[in-house]
């Protein structure tokens, strides 16, 4: 059992109505969570073809699954209501927005909040790129240049000159500074060797989403820290974080039953290829299909998606990156990641897709789990 406290954040969606985001932020603040992270999407991972009441109670007849507010504007709106919460995005990319614009937005946010904001950034997803005529070639190379530019904007004084393949600045002015102690932190969402190296070289935090086991987490965190040492940086200054979709039930049987619902099983399609191979199966959308990167929802019809959901093996749901169980079980699983070095987890209680009751319980359970994990003694949470 870890002797170190693990801080907890909450992911909230950026879909209408605005009152929903406001209420979740208030709940996170009252619960004294550490952070609230917004998503940055043009569209969701749910194909319009299956968006109906049979999938989730959240589906309204006249509503699209692809309605999203701009995260930067929404963060500005929420800032005055955040109190001591850290606000951030998890994650954006430097394809839809120029890195100078990203830096300016985060620096602006640092003046609106009481604590340093978090810039979660990755290489991007096709669903937000391809349909809009944007270039998705060399995403990791583009990200590395963007990280260099953002770092210059956060720290440089005077005009910035930068010459790269994707970005060029010629004595460009970006003189906005963060207040003392509130310089935005860069958390890199990455999993492969190149992304881990970029995290070590430029990141203030590591924010993976599809790491499956504590053992994998420890190995990849070691790679991040080695890259930081290679770059002459303090490896211990990088926050080891984690994003987790969570299905939380009052009993194990209840949580397991929610894994069988179509809305939650859709998330199984995003499990890494290794998890599918270990389950003795091939991903129904292609043996080398990476759902986190390559999935463009509305390019798949109803029959194809429903076939794919039905093909998700139970082992992919139970042994993949999806966090599931009772509050006590979920806290224990997160402590195992804490033993592997993780110090901050952002929970997204997707059991809320199943029913209104499950949504309320998932939020309550997140608070109980957070109270357990922030205790250095690691007291177990009470049963549901």
> Which pLDDT value is given to residue 62?
72
The pTM score is 0.95
> Which pLDDT value is given to residue 381?
47
> Which pLDDT value is given to residue 180?
95
Radius of gyration of the chain from its Cα atoms, rounded to whole angstroms: 20
> In 3D, which of 84, 152, 147 has the Cα closest to residue 117?
84
Query: What CATH number does domain 7-250+324-374 carry, 3.20.20.30, 3.40.640.10, 3.40.50.300, 3.40.50.720?
Result: 3.20.20.30
Contacts of 304 (CB under 8 A, 6+ apart): none
> Which pLDDT value is given to residue 376?
53
pLDDT (tens place) for every residue of the chain, 384 residues total:
556 799 999 999 999 999 999 999 999 999 999 999 999 999 999 999 999 999 999 997 678 999 999 999 999 999 999 999 999 999 999 999 999 999 999 999 999 999 999 999 999 999 999 999 999 999 999 999 999 999 999 997 789 999 999 999 999 999 999 999 999 999 999 999 999 999 999 999 999 999 999 999 999 999 999 999 999 999 999 999 999 999 999 999 999 999 999 999 999 999 988 899 999 999 998 888 888 899 999 999 999 999 999 999 999 999 999 999 999 999 999 999 999 999 999 999 999 999 999 999 999 999 999 999 987 544 444 444
> Which pLDDT value is given to residue 61?
61
> Which pLDDT value is given to residue 2?
52
> In 3D, which of 319, 245, 310 has the Cα closest to residue 275?
319
Return d(Cα 255, Cα 278) in angstroms, integer. Answer: 23
3-state DSSP percent of the chain in helix, strand and coil, to 5: 45, 15, 40
Return d(Cα 133, Cα 33) in angstroms, integer. Answer: 39
Backbone dihedral angles phi then psi of residue 351, each to the nearest 5 degrees: -60, -15
């Amino acid at each position: 059992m870890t002797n170190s406290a693990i801080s907890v954040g909450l992911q909230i969606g950026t879909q209408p109505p605005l009152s929903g985001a406001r209420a979740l932020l208030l709940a996170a603040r009252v619960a004294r969570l550490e952070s609230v992270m917004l998503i940055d999407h043009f569209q969701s991972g749910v194909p319009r073809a299956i968006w109906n009441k049979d999938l989730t109670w959240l589906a309204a007849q006249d509503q699209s699954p692809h309605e999203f507010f701009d995260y930067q504007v929404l963060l500005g709106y929420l800032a005055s209501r955040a109190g001591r919460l850290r606000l951030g995005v998890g994650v954006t990319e430097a394809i839809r927005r120029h890195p100078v614009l990203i830096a300016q937005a985060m620096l602006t946010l640092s003046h609106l909040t009481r604590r340093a904001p978090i810039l979660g950034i990755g290489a991007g997803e096709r669903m937000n790129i391809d349909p809009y005529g944007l270039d998705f070639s060399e995403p990791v190379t583009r990200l590395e240049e963007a990280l260099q530019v953002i770092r210059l904007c956060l720290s440089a004084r005077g005009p910035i000159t930068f010459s790269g393949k994707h970005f060029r600045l010629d004595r460009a002015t970006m003189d906005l500074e963060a207040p003392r102690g509130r310089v935005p932190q860069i958390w890199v969402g990455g999993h492969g060797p190149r992304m881990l190296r970029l995290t070590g070289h430029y990141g203030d935090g590591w924010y993976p989403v599809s790491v499956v086991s504590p053992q994998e987490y420890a190995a990849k965190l070691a790679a991040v820290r080695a890259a930081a040492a290679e770059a002459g940086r303090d490896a211990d200054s990088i926050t080891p974080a984690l994003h987790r979709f969570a299905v939380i039930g009052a009993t194990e049987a209840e949580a397991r039953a929610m894994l069988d619902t179509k809305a939650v099983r859709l998330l199984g399609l995003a499990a890494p290829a290794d998890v599918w191979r270990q389950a003795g199966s091939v991903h129904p959308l292609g043996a080398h299909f990476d759902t986190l990167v390559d999935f463009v929802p509305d390019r798949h019809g109803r029959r194809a998606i429903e076939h794919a959901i039905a093909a998700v093996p139970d082992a992919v749901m139970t042994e993949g990156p999806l966090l599931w169980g009772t509050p006590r079980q979920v806290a224990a699983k997160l402590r195992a990641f804490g033993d592997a070095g993780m110090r901050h987890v952002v929970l997204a209680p997707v059991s809320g897709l199943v029913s209104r009751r499950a949504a309320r319980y998932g939020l309550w359970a997140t608070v109980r789990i957070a109270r357990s994990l922030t205790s250095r003694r690691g007291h177990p949470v009470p049963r549901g």
